[in-house]
Amino acid sequence: MTRYRDRYQQIYSSLTRADLQKGSEGLAELSAGPDLFGYDSDLWLGFYTKEGLRTALEKYGFLVDLADLGFSDFRLETRTDNPDQHLLRIFAEQPSCKEPLTELVVRRDFLRPYSELADYLTDSHIPVLTVDWLLLQDPRAKFTAQRPPLPGQRYPGLGVGAQVLELLRNACLRLNLAGLVTVPSYFHNALFYSAEFRYFDPFWQGAFLAACRDVMPAVENFVPAASWALHWKMVKNRNEPDRPFSWFHQLMLIPVSELLEDYLDGRWYKQQVQKSLTRHDFEIFKDPLRRNLASRGIHPFDQEKIDEWITSV
């Protein structure tokens, strides 16, 4: 549980549907109670107006968190024309940034358990909120030796990921969804998410834990090196030595419903995780990794090399 959970839960309880649907036509006919659930295709995730989203971000203190980083005069952009994916961007007018500080693409979806997983979940279609894309970046900031580029980054992060996850978890509660789901693009994403998320399939949870166990110590717990090693396929599983190990794009989730909580905390899931751990024994190709990191200025750190490399991609 993040350090924001208790405070955000109190704010969640104080927000009403009227707060979150400000500006919506026919709002006067709605109750002000927080427990009315419905779906309107013109609203963000079928529930929120843009004004309502701003109200929530203000009351939760998220815009204050961005202001504490030196930004102000925030502009929200939403798109709901694609019924399968809804977009939210937050821009700062001061200092003026062409790039968004945050970019989020989400959708209502269903988990569909398969194979043995289906035997341990009674529901064949479990409603969830899926995060297809999440970008948190500071376009003003420069990379440093302590915070070099991670795979997928053009700018350093904002450091507000924990707050965003709590906001999304509360959206699941508001929309009566069973969990929050995402597919980490890179190892460092999964590592950050792992404070709250677990892989839906216990096989991949075991593979992830094995990577934490084997890869991180091999690079002295330097997260960028570990993430680049897996991204560049410079890791092998000693149990399958004939080919490099490819980073896996598999579902992770935060359980919100008792059904998913019981599944992830159950004996069968934990047993399968342990079995998977024994099937993975990772080793890094250290010399190629060192050469690649040095050529891009990641380690040893070289700002000029990094700027030239990022500009080129």
Q: Are strands 179-182 and 126-136 parallel, antiparallel or unpaired?
A: parallel
* Calculated CA dihedral for residues 2, 182, 232, 272, nearest 10 degrees: 80
Instruction: State the average pLDDT for the chain.
Output: 93
Q: What angle do CA 106, 112, 113 make, to 5 degrees?
A: 130
CB distance 11 to 39 below 8 Å: no
- Helix (H) / strand (E) element for 282: namely strand 282-284
Strand partners, 48: 44
Q: What is the mean pLDDT of residues 202-213?
A: 98
Q: Which residues of 124-138 are buried (b: 16+ CB within 10 A; e: fewer)?
A: eebbbbbbbebbbbb
Residues 165 and 171: their CA atoms lie apart, in Å, by 10
Q: Read off the amino acid at residue 237.
A: N
pLDDT in tens, 100-142: 999 999 999 999 888 778 777 877 789 999 999 999 999 999 9
Greatest distance between any 2 Cα atoms in the chain:
67
Closest CA to 232 of 296, 182, 178, 175: 296
Contacts of 265 (CB under 8 A, 6+ apart): none
pLDDT in tens, 14-48: 999 999 999 986 555 544 444 444 567 789 999 99
Residue 149's pLDDT is what? 97
